Amino acid sequence: MLKPVSPDLDALNLLDQRLRFLSAWTIHHANHVRDSSDGLKVGGHQASCASMSALMTALYFHALGPNDRVAVKPHGGPLLHAIHYLLGSQSLEQLQNFRGFGGMQSYPSRTKDRIPVDFSTGSVGLGVAVTAFASLVQDYLTAHGKMAEEDRGRFVALIGDAELDEGNIYEALIEGYKHDIRNCWWIVDYNRQSLDATSADRMFERFDEIFASCGWRTVELRYGKKLGAAVAQYPALKAWLDELPNADFAAMSFQGGAAWRARIAADLGKDGAAFLQAHDDEALGTLMTDLGGHCMETLVEAFDACQDDVPTLFVAWTVKGFGLPFAGHKDNHSGLMNPTQAHAMRDAMGISEGDEWSPLAGIGANALPAVQALLDRSRIQRAKRERSFGRIEIPHIAAPTGDEQATQAAFGKIMLDLSRGGGNLADRIVTTSPDVTVSTNLGAWVNQRGLFKRREMKDVFAAAKIASAQKWAATNKGQHIELGIAESNLFLMLAALGLSGDLFGERLVPVGTLYDPFIARGLDSLNYACYQDARFLLVATPSGITLGPEGGAHQSINPPLIALGQPGLRHYEPAFVDELAAMMEEAFRLIDDPAGESTYLRLSTRSIAQVERADDKWKAGALAGGYWLREPGPNAEAAIVAMGAVMPEALAAYDELSADLPGLGLLAVTSPDLLHRGWSAAQAARWQGKREPSHVESLLSRLAPGAGLVTLCDAAPASLSWLGGVIGQRVAPLGVDRFGQTGNLSDLYAAYRLDGDAITQAIAELLITAS
């Protein structure tokens, strides 16, 4: 870590004011100055910015070094842009296009903003937690010799106090404790206001206790230096303030000095008289809101005092909307200054009209050199970090051999083969799983590559020579990060691992496994990982009612639909293991390709007969979303369209029906997601005069225009039924549209209409209605 330099508090205070104004003015400009062609409210959060301008000033112009990575609370985004504007790394045009098309984003975005944004934020809680996992990735890279000591940094999250209600923060806290994470600063802008209301008083000090019990140092920055001195001098005032409800504090902050005086006089009587006499109303209003989070000296001292690697929670007390006309007002979350108020703020800051955007407007000539010196010496990254791609050698991945195989077991074998084969890809793979490592077939890989723990952990069972298939010693060279059962943490871990090339210049190849139904448990975190363009392979298994005896609580139904609507994530659902091998190879390639994405493999425990292949022609189609497993005849009137583990039923039905229905085809769909994307893209391209048909159009145009399709999948039938819309063919959708239950496969497939009888009936119905 960098040594702290001695602060220039006056200059820092001037920067704080300037940033508070610039963030407010950026929002004001977007709402009240810029032309609005559609009359839509633009919005923005002046109050949320104002409450942490001092905090961010102290960080960016004093505490942070070039290796530190920060997640800024979503509504503080304009402050981050204002900081980069002053540093010369953000343009005026971008500020003036806040929330406009192509302009700076509402909430910090790693991919869309032009300034360096280490972690996107927006869905509260996730930006906080991901920093803990990023710190774990830094430790991983260091231990694996992929990151030099001098490149290491600290992971800082700037948090709204209401954000602390998000449960995912505590899941991450627990996991972080288990993994002994360090170098994290989580800094709460404790303005005690959320969107709707003032925060619950009962939570006072509870957060500190929760964090302390997980090994965190907690630092309470309640009073600024001046208010701190006053409460030390007047114990009655301190006792009164300590008990003052959040709502009362907020209301008086809004009302100002006279209100404070009346209330203190009423509550403290003669115990408050001396204190009140010493201050006029204006001074009183200022003094009572001199909280730790607004006092530069307090902040700088606190940051300087925590230069070790102990994870630290700073609770910085603030006033929401500090310095703005609606400071402390309970409705100020989306409050916007009206033009009169914004102009008054400008005038009060000594900024002349038209000069609002001059970077250091309002700072007197005498102070300018010191402020400029602060800007010059800020040590933060000004340019976006380069992304790292294209360095991984991806070997050909061979399918495991065997006549009858399940995709889940084959996944485990492929991982084992990769491990045994060694090489660049295998060394970059990091696997992780929320307590389902064994049951998702990663055990053999872990036996080979070991668990990752910064501090060595012996396998007690192995040492005692107790027989077990799992040999789970942990060292700092291990390549599997074992997580507790919190699926949100899995996705945040994958997000952090999948950003390693972006954050640390060293791309890892993350592979995460979980049960398919529990994707929903961490869905927002998965979306968050994709939103930031983190790259990983997600292997979800087992899936569907094909899980049989395990029952309805574990049988997934809708994940293919989730995947169909999830940008940045490609869904593949193989039926055969040679498809799986090709898909894994493709997924690894996509992780390391600038234009790639993450992949979701939906696998099954069902062992099925593998198909004989005459050649490799199926492969390109399988990777593009589907291929004819049994070619249709010219202008065929019907086809079976099947996906994944129910392929044996489709093949059996094909064999039975094709004698009576010459020309019947069997289309194996490997990715509804890719087919749909290609279809949409081809249509959009057609509007621009490009006439290439999409893959799915090419596939389905082999059939007669009015042909019937029986679609079959162990998932929500809508995963495939949309195929009827491509050319206008008729569809009989078979699939699972109610909760599953225990049973053997033949009973379940019969009850849920996934069997040969259902296919035959559906085809018959289609052909009858056609005639």
Ligand X SMILES: Cc1ncc(C[n+]2csc(CCOP(=O)(O)OP(=O)(O)O)c2C)c(N)n1
Q: Which residues form the interface with Mg ion (CB under 5 A)?
A: 160-162, 191, 193
Burial (Cβ within 10 Å: 0-12, 13-18, ≥19) of residue 597: middle
Q: What is the rounded CA–CA span in Å between residue 487 and residue 524?
A: 10
Is 624 in contact with 673 (CB distance < 8 Å)?
no
Asked if 513 touches ligand X (CB under 6 A), the answer is no
Crossing angle of helices 9-28 and 339-348, in 10° steps, is 160
CB of 306 to ligand X, least distance (A): 22
Identified binder of ligand X from the candidate list 26, 183, 191, 419, rule CB under 6 A = 191
The identity of residue 690, as a single letter, is K
The token pair that represents 334 in the structure block: 């989306």
Name the residue nearer to ligand X (CB basis): 124 or 219.
124
Segment lying near ligand X (by CB under 6 A), choices 161-169, 593-601, 688-696, 711-719? 161-169
Name the residue nearer to ligand X (CB basis): 73 or 154.
73
698 binds, among Mg ion, ligand X, none (CB under 5 to 8 A by kind): none
53 φ/ψ sector (left φ>0, alpha ψ -120 to 50, else beta): alpha
Name the residue nearer to ligand X (CB basis): 97 or 123.
123
The identity of residue 695, as a single letter, is H
Grouping H, G, I as helix, E, B as strand and the rest as coil, residue 229 is helix
Name the residue nearer to Mg ion (CB basis): 289 or 378.
289
123 binds, among Mg ion, ligand X, none (CB under 5 to 8 A by kind): ligand X
Name the residue nearer to ligand X (CB basis): 293 or 632.
293
* Cβ neighbour number for residue 572 with a 10 Å cutoff: 25
542: preceding bond cis by omega (within 30 degrees): yes
CB of 165 to ligand X, least distance (A): 8
Asked if 516 touches ligand X (CB under 6 A), the answer is no
Query: Footprint of ligand X on residues 279-308 (CB under 6 A)?
Result: none
Segment lying near ligand X (by CB under 6 A), choices 193-201, 431-439, 482-490, 684-692? 193-201
Name the residue nearer to ligand X (CB basis): 117 or 446.
117
CB of 250 to ligand X, least distance (A): 11
Crossing angle of helices 235-243 and 257-268, in 10° steps, is 100
Asked if 507 touches ligand X (CB under 6 A), the answer is no
632 binds, among ligand X, Mg ion, none (CB under 5 to 8 A by kind): none
Name the residue nearer to ligand X (CB basis): 127 or 632.
127
Q: What is the rounded CA–CA span in Å between residue 715 and residue 723?
A: 15
Q: What is the rounded CA–CA span in Å between residue 255 and residue 249?
A: 10
Number of residues written out for the chain: 771
Identified binder of ligand X from the candidate list 16, 68, 163, 506, rule CB under 6 A = 163
Segment lying near ligand X (by CB under 6 A), choices 156-164, 492-500, 559-567, 745-753? 156-164
Segment lying near ligand X (by CB under 6 A), choices 20-28, 71-79, 292-300, 692-700? 71-79
Identified binder of ligand X from the candidate list 161, 516, 585, 592, rule CB under 6 A = 161
CB of 160 to Mg ion, least distance (A): 4
Q: Which of 86, 123, 91 is nearest to 108 (CA)?
A: 123
Asked if 75 touches ligand X (CB under 6 A), the answer is yes
Name the residue nearer to ligand X (CB basis): 16 or 502.
16
Name the residue nearer to ligand X (CB basis): 53 or 555.
53
Q: Tell me how many degrees the CA angle 570-405-550 measures, rounded to the nearest 5.
A: 80
Question: Among the residues of 70-125, which ranges form H helices?
Answer: 77-87, 92-96
Name the residue nearer to Mg ion (CB basis): 90 or 193.
193
CB of 199 to Mg ion, least distance (A): 7
Segment lying near ligand X (by CB under 6 A), choices 185-193, 350-358, 402-410, 628-636? 185-193
Q: What is the rounded CA–CA span in Å between residue 395 and residue 397?
A: 6
Is 73 in contact with 108 (CB distance < 8 Å)?
no
Name the residue nearer to Mg ion (CB basis): 330 or 343.
330
Is 568 in contact with 531 (CB distance < 8 Å)?
yes
Q: Which of 591, 229, 555 is nearest to 393 (CA)?
A: 591
- How far does Cα 154 stand from its chain's mean position? 19
Asked if 189 touches ligand X (CB under 6 A), the answer is yes
Name the residue nearer to ligand X (CB basis): 91 or 334.
334
The DSSP line for 546-614 is GGGGG-TTT---SHHHHHHT-TTEEEE--SSHHHHHHHHHHHHHHHTSTT--EEEEE-----EEPPP-S
CB of 195 to ligand X, least distance (A): 4
* Cβ neighbour number for residue 629 with a 10 Å cutoff: 22
Residue with tokens 């960016």: 60
CB of 128 to ligand X, least distance (A): 10
Segment lying near ligand X (by CB under 6 A), choices 72-80, 145-153, 668-676, 743-751? 72-80
Segment lying near ligand X (by CB under 6 A), choices 30-38, 186-194, 219-227, 403-411? 186-194
Identified binder of ligand X from the candidate list 31, 57, 90, 193, rule CB under 6 A = 193
Q: What is the sign of the dihedral through the CA atoms of 503, 386, 79 and 53?
A: positive
The DSSP line for 654-717 is HHHHTTTSTT-EEEEES-HHHHHHHHHHHHHHHHTT--PPPHHHHHHTTEEEEEEEEEE-SS-T
- Closest CB to ligand X: residue number: 160
106 binds, among ligand X, Mg ion, none (CB under 5 to 8 A by kind): none
CB of 507 to ligand X, least distance (A): 29
CB of 124 to ligand X, least distance (A): 4
CB of 558 to Mg ion, least distance (A): 35
Query: Footprint of ligand X on residues 313-342 (CB under 6 A)?
Result: 320, 333
Name the residue nearer to ligand X (CB basis): 194 or 541.
194
Q: What is the rounded CA–CA span in Å between residue 160 and residue 707?
A: 57
Identified binder of ligand X from the candidate list 46, 48, 433, 694, rule CB under 6 A = 48
Name the residue nearer to Mg ion (CB basis): 198 or 479.
198
Segment lying near ligand X (by CB under 6 A), choices 73-81, 213-221, 638-646, 754-762? 73-81
Q: What is the rounded CA–CA span in Å between residue 463 and residue 208?
A: 40
CB of 246 to Mg ion, least distance (A): 10
Identified binder of ligand X from the candidate list 77, 103, 108, 160, rule CB under 6 A = 160
Looking from the CA of 680 toward its CB, the CA atoms found within 13 Å total 8
Identified binder of ligand X from the candidate list 195, 212, 373, 681, rule CB under 6 A = 195
Q: Identify the bridge partners of residue 190 per DSSP, sorted by sequence position.
A: 317
Name the residue nearer to ligand X (CB basis): 45 or 677.
45
544 binds, among Mg ion, ligand X, none (CB under 5 to 8 A by kind): none
Strand ranges across the sheet with 703-712: 626-630, 665-669, 636-643, 703-712, 730-734
Is 93 in contact with 501 (CB distance < 8 Å)?
no
Segment lying near ligand X (by CB under 6 A), choices 160-168, 283-291, 585-593, 719-727? 160-168
Query: Footprint of ligand X on residues 77-136 (CB under 6 A)?
Result: 123-124
Name the residue nearer to ligand X (CB basis): 320 or 606.
320
Name the residue nearer to ligand X (CB basis): 163 or 673.
163
**Cβ partners under 8 Å of residue 165, min gap 6:** none
Q: Which of 615, 734, 586 is nearest to 674 (CA)?
A: 586
CB of 119 to ligand X, least distance (A): 15
Q: What is the rounded CA–CA span in Å between residue 15 and residue 36?
A: 31
- Interface with ligand X (CB under 6 A): 48, 51, 73-75, 123-124, 160-163, 189, 191, 193-195, 320, 333
